[in-house]
Structure 1
Amino acid sequence: MIALLEDGALETLLNQVGGDTSLRHRFLRDFIALWPSRAERLAESLARPDLEEAHVVLLSIRSTSTMVGAVVLEATAALVHSALSRNDLPGCLQHMRRLVEVGEATCAELAVLTTRAEDAERAQKAWQAQQGQQQAQYEQQSQFGDRAVPPRRWEFPATHAH
Structure 2
Amino acid sequence: MGSCVTDEREAHVAVDPRYLEQLRAELDGDCVAVNGFVATFVSMWPNRLQRVTCATNDDNVGALVDSALSIRSSSAMVGAVRLNAVASDLEQLGRAGDLAGVRRLIPHLRTVGDRTIERLSQMLLS
TM-score over 0.5 (shorter chain): yes
Partner in structure 1 of residue 4 of structure 2: none
The superposition leaves residues 62-94 of structure 1 with CA deviations (integer Å, 9 ceiling, x where unpaired) of 011000000000001111111111100000111
The percent of aligned pairs where both chains have the same amino acid is 28
Query: Would you identify which runs of 4 or more consecutive aligned residues in structure 1 move more than 3 Å?
Result: none
Higher helix residue share: 2
TM-score, length of structure 1 as denominator length: 0.68
Q: How many residues align?
A: 116
Alignment equivalent of 2:94, drawn from 84, 90, 98: 84
Deviation at 1:49, TM superposition (A): 1.3
Of structures 1 and 2, the one scoring higher in RCO (CA 8 A, sep 6+) is 2
Matched, 1:115 2:120: no
* CA displacement 1:111-133 (0-9 Å, x = unmatched): 111111xxxxxxxxxxxxxxxxx
Q: Which has the larger radius of gyration?
A: 1
Residue aligned with 1:8, SS:
helix
**Structure 1 residue 21 corresponds to structure 2 residue 31:** yes
The normalised TM-score by structure 2 is 0.87
Structure 1 residue ranges without an equivalent (≥5) = 117-162
Aligned to 1:160: none
Work out whether 1:48 is the aligned partner of 2:39: no
The residue aligned with 1:102 is 112
1:58 aligns with 2:36: no
Amino acid at match of 1:104: D
What are the ranges of 5 or more consecutive residues in structure 2 without an aligned counterpart? 1-8
Match of 1:31 in 2: 41
Q: Is the 8 A contact 2:20 2:77 kept in 1?
A: no
